[in-house]
Amino acid sequence: MATFTFTPHIASRPTLSSSSKRKPKFNSIKTTKVSLQTSPPSLSDPFVLQLAETLEDSLPSSSLPFPLQKLRESSAETLLSTPWPSRRDEAFRFTDVSFIKQSQIHPISNPPQSSQLSSIPVETQFANVVIIDGHFVDSVSNLTELPNGVYVGSFIDLPSHSIAKRVSEFVDGKFVGDLFWSINGVGAPDLTVVYVPAGCKVENPIHFRYFSINGGEEGSKELAVSNPRVLVLVENGGEIEIIEEFLSGDGGRSYWANPVLEVVIGCGGKVKHSYIQNQSLNAAHIKWTSVQQESTSAYELVEISTGGKLSRHNVHIQQLGPETMTELSTLHLSVGNQTQDLHSSLVLDHPRGYSRQLHKCIVANPQGQAVFDGNVKVNRYAQQTDAGQLTRSLLLEPRATVNVKPNLQIIADDVKCSHGAAISDLEETQLFYFQARGIDLETARKALIFSFGAEVIERLPSTSVQKRVENHIKELLNTTLERS
């Protein structure tokens, strides 16, 4: 029996109160002076403390530049009062992270040795950044053809003092995510920066390749944790396309990638972001993407996630000025015993904003699961906003599970919002149409399943990435469907 939960949750003015009840209460003696951002307040969680200590110990603290030092300290402080999430927390109700807790976690303190670099395939098409186990590795990256004034590299190597100062404003920003966000803040060995000066339109994409080469053998309890952290700062009128690709590494190694990406887009700026997650089926992959958009800027995300035993993408987007555009398209594919989770929150605070979210997931395994919690908040001053959200799930196995909670909260009154959710198996009448034209059932099924995902894949800006993703998904579906 397939199960799903689904909450079309459109709260308009009268239910405003529902959001206020989540305000943190600071009645605990222990935590009052620690951090104002945590909720609910509680005593320190011994597991989290130990994890934080291990991470801190693994990194040299003396040489850190001031902003990173500050980030590490504030993150550590937050961790003091943040417990490890349980299924009782609304945000983790359907996403079980206990397998991380039950593993032996060890940080990867040192950048990879040069002997380990030979396995990194050379990429010639785009300017590219290689991040291995959280460490930016200059020697295998290729950043030779960047336009004037554009910087891509480690924070420490920033050439200009003024840019470093500018970037520093955002290193330890206002936004604080959940526990995993703070773990990254403590454990990030470095900060990789992409800086696009005002008015500069970077023509070619920057390709981020993240490799996880340390990790336990398949089936072991070892979990090597890495905390890559990247900040993209696009000044007014600047434009750039970035491709983030998380690769599997060899075999089914167990590791925990805990990356954070922050994107700051100035007025009229534009960022196209592709995110492809294809990690080992024994890995945990928990990512944060936080985006701040000034007025009239545009941000487009296309995500394709197929890897990981536990994969979660937390997306937080804040529109900071009027006439701002945000488009999110995601495709999650769960062909194994795996969870694919998207938790997104989009806040529209200003007039004439525009947002579109399309989330699609395919669950093709009886033990597979997809989770979607998509919150779009259209606040009081966001008049004449046009916000759309659509989620569609395809369950190919009778016991496959999907939990979707599309959630549009509208407080402004002059808005155009649309909203929808559908969960289905393949349509029998469509399958029959193929058969009636001589096409066998298996081919028909594949074509329909693939076309379901194609709607998102087609939105990847780079055609070469599109082709690669297409082939990868076809391969995954082929092996899965042939097994069943």
Partner 1 sequence: MAYCSSSSTTSASPVVRYLPSNSTSSTTSTFSPLPFRSNRRRSVRIATASLSPVNSPSTSFSGSQKNLLLEVKDLTAVIAESKQEILKGVNLVVYEGEVHAIMGKNGSGKSTFAKVLVGHPDYEVTGGSILFKGSDLLEMEPEERSLAGLFMSFQSPVEIPGVSNIDFLNMAYNARRRKLGLAELGPIEFYAYIFPKLDLVNMKTDFLNRNVNEGFSGGERKRNEILQLAVLGAEMAILDEIDSGLDVDALRDVAKAVNGLLTPNNSVLMITHYLRLLEFIEPSRIHIMEDGKIVKTGDISIAKLLEEEGYKAISTA
- Candidate residues 42, 220, 418, 484; the one interacting with partner 1 per rule CB under 8 A: 418
Q: Is the dihedral of CA 102, 104, 109, 114 positive or negative?
A: negative
With binding defined as CB under 8 A, does residue 420 bind partner 1?
Answer: yes
Give how far Cα 191 sits from Cα of 134, 173, 264, 316, 342, Å.
Answer: 9, 14, 15, 19, 24
How many residues in total does the chain contain?
484
Q: Which of 405, 410, 477, 480 binds partner 1 (CB under 8 A)?
A: 405
d(CA 254, CA 68): 28
User: Under the criterion CB under 8 A, does residue 8 sit at the interface with partner 1?
Assistant: yes
Q: What are phi and psi for residue 136, nearest 5 degrees?
A: -70, 125
Q: Find the binder of partner 1 among 173, 251, 422, 478 (CB under 8 A).
A: 422
The residue among 350 and 405 lying less far from partner 1, judged by its C-beta, is: 405
- Going residue by residue from 156 to 175, which x/- string records binding to partner 1, judged by CB under 8 A? --------------------
Which of the ranges 52-60, 108-116, 224-232, 453-461 carries the binding residues for partner 1, by CB under 8 A?
453-461
Q: Which of 214, 180, 189 is nearest to 83 (CA)?
A: 180
78 and 44 in contact (C-beta within 8 Å)? no
Q: Cβ distance 12 to 411 under 8 Å?
A: yes
Q: Does 356 bind partner 1 (CB under 8 A)?
A: yes
Please pick, from the candidates 13, 337, 441, 475, the single residue that binds partner 1 as defined by CB under 8 A. Answer: 441
Query: Strand 9-11 to strand 222-226: parallel, antiparallel, or no bridges (unpaired)?
Result: unpaired
- Please choose, from the candidates 371, 364, 354, the residue with its C-alpha nearest in 3D space to the C-alpha of residue 480: 364
Q: How far is CA 2 from CA 400, 421, 426, 431, 459, in A?
A: 5, 16, 14, 20, 30
Binding mask 52-91 for partner 1 (x = CB under 8 A): --------------------------------------x-
Contact, 93 vs 87, CB < 8 A? yes
Phi first, then psi, for residue 24 (nearest 5°) are: -70, 145
Nearest approach, Cβ of residue 60 and partner 1 (Å):
45
Which of 57, 157, 217, 425 binds partner 1 (CB under 8 A)? It is 425
Q: Is the CB of residue 159 less than 8 Å from the CB of residue 193?
A: no
Is residue 219 a contact point for partner 1 (CB under 8 A)?
A: no
Least separation in angstroms between CB 146 and partner 1: 28
CB of 125 to partner 1, least distance (A): 21
Binding mask 325-344 for partner 1 (x = CB under 8 A): --x-x---------------
Q: Tell me which residues in 364-393 interact with partner 1 (CB under 8 A).
A: 388-390
Work out whether 395 is an interface residue with partner 1 (CB under 8 A): yes
When binding is defined by CB under 8 A, the residue of 115, 437, 482, 483 that contacts partner 1 is: 437
For partner 1, the closer CB: 309 or 419? 419
Pick out residues in 88-147 that bind partner 1 (CB under 8 A): 90, 93
**Residue closer to partner 1 (CB basis): 4 or 175:** 4
Choose among 370, 375, 369, 379: nearest CA to 406.
375
d(CA 148, CA 174): 30
428 makes contact with partner 1 (CB under 8 A): yes
- Measured CA to CA, the distance from residue 259 to residue 268 in angstroms comes to 27
CB of 10 to partner 1, least distance (A): 10
Counting beta carbons within 10 angstroms of the beta carbon of residue 164, is it exposed (0 to 12), middle (13 to 18) or buried (19 or more)? buried
Select from 203, 413, 439, 478 the one that contacts partner 1 (CB under 8 A). 439
Are 267 and 298 within 8 A, CB to CB? no
- Tell me how far, at minimum, the Cβ of 134 lies from partner 1, in Å: 34
Among 458, 464, 467, 478, binds partner 1 (CB under 8 A): 458
Q: Cβ neighbours of residue 140 under 8 Å, at least 6 residues apart?
A: 117, 120, 122, 130
Which are the contacts of 115, defined by CB distance < 8 A and separation ≥ 6?
none
Residue in 183, 284, 302, 358 binding partner 1, rule: CB under 8 A: 358
Cα torsion 50, 55, 61, 65: sign? negative
Pick 15 or 61: Cβ nearer partner 1: 15
Choose one: 158-166, 209-217, 252-260, 403-411; the region binding partner 1 (CB under 8 A). Answer: 403-411
**Does position 398 bind partner 1 by CB under 8 A?**
yes
CB of 435 to partner 1, least distance (A): 4
Residue numbers of the site for partner 1 (CB under 8 A)?
1-9, 90, 93, 327, 329, 356, 358, 388-390, 395, 398, 403, 405, 407, 418-425, 427-430, 432-441, 443, 447-448, 450-452, 454-455, 458-459
